[in-house]
Amino acid sequence: MTPLHRHQIAWLSHAGWQRVLAHDWDVTALECLSHWAKRRLPVVVTRQPPDAEDGGSSVALGLSAPRRWQRQRIALRVPRADVLYFDEFPQIDQVRSTLPRGTRKGLRELHDRLFACGTAARVYGSHGWQHFAGLEYVHDASDLDLWVAVSSIAQADAVAAALGDFASPGLRIDGELMFGGDAGVAWREWRAWRAGRTGAFLVKRLAGASMARSLRDVQALEFDEAAA
């Protein structure tokens, strides 16, 4: 069974979409979901019910609607059998050509720097949704939301430094470092904690969230403490 993690996307079967549409939705949500079903667009894995860790028969999913449908957030719960497969948001290089021309060189350099760190960034949020749906999500104040998988403290530090060094007028990078598959930490919070500017950081998982305050807490994120 495919393990679930934050920011993972899912593609539903035709029968799955028909079951989704059969629920009692308000007019705006139904119109948006009908569009998604007709074009077989993806949805995203969200916070999971308690039985999910034990191989539960259903999975919690969500859809962030574009401006056309009032940016409504729509929650779904579908049988796992209705998920054709799980997938990921695009990498930076897959969306770079749609971003402002003045940012592209810096994003290429960021991509290369992360590659040198042994990892890559996935684009979620408004830019990721717009990539899949081809509808208007991005506006002038939109951040570029990235999540980056890391497997050690040293790698997390290097990735956070690369993200922090990115500077381009009109484009702000936000997002998370992803530890152990499903422990998301805002890279800005991680960097502030490592620099001693804050005493704790928030760890988000599909099952909930908790605070981490020490390297002992970091051990639960399933990477090599010796790298520190």
Whether residue 206 is found in the same domain as residue 144 = yes
Domain-embedded: residue 2: no
Whether residue 107 is found in the same domain as residue 43 = no
Whether residue 154 is found in the same domain as residue 63 = no
Q: Counting beta carbons within 10 angstroms of the beta carbon of residue 185, is it exposed (0 to 12), middle (13 to 18) or buried (19 or more)?
A: buried
Smallest Cα–Cα separation from 18: which of 3, 2, 40, 1? 40
Whether residue 78 is found in the same domain as residue 31 = yes
- End of a domain among 22, 57, 88? 88
Number of structural domains in the chain? 2
- End of a domain among 54, 88, 122? 88
pLDDT of residue 212: 93
pLDDT of residue 2: 78
Whether residue 177 is found in the same domain as residue 111 = yes
Smallest Cα–Cα separation from 177: which of 157, 204, 148? 148
Query: How many other CB atoms sit within 10 Å of the CB of residue 144?
Result: 25
Check: CB of residue 2 under 8 Å from CB of residue 46. no
Whether residue 122 is found in the same domain as residue 51 = no
- End of a domain among 88, 109, 131? 88
Whether residue 13 is found in the same domain as residue 104 = no
Check: CB of residue 184 under 8 Å from CB of residue 6. yes
Whether residue 218 is found in the same domain as residue 123 = yes
- Token reading at 149: 């998988």
Q: Which residues contact 155 (CB under 8 A, 6 or more apart)?
A: 117, 118, 119, 223, 227
Domain-embedded: residue 216: yes
Check: CB of residue 225 under 8 Å from CB of residue 213. no
Whether residue 76 is found in the same domain as residue 103 = no
Full residue range of the structural domain in which residue 37 is found: 8-88
pLDDT of residue 96: 86
Whether residue 97 is found in the same domain as residue 190 = yes
pLDDT of residue 147: 97
pLDDT of residue 225: 44
Domain-embedded: residue 1: no
Q: Which residues contact 181 (CB under 8 A, 6 or more apart)?
A: 3, 5, 149, 222
Domain-embedded: residue 181: yes
Whether residue 102 is found in the same domain as residue 74 = no
d(Cα 32, Cα 62) in Å, to the nearest integer? Answer: 12
Whether residue 167 is found in the same domain as residue 220 = yes
What does each of the 228 residues of the chain score in pLDDT, given as a tens digit? 778 999 999 999 999 999 999 999 999 999 999 999 999 999 999 999 776 555 568 999 999 999 999 999 999 999 999 999 999 999 999 998 888 888 999 999 999 999 999 999 999 999 999 999 999 999 888 999 999 999 999 999 999 999 999 988 889 999 999 998 789 999 999 999 999 999 999 999 999 999 999 878 877 775 544 444
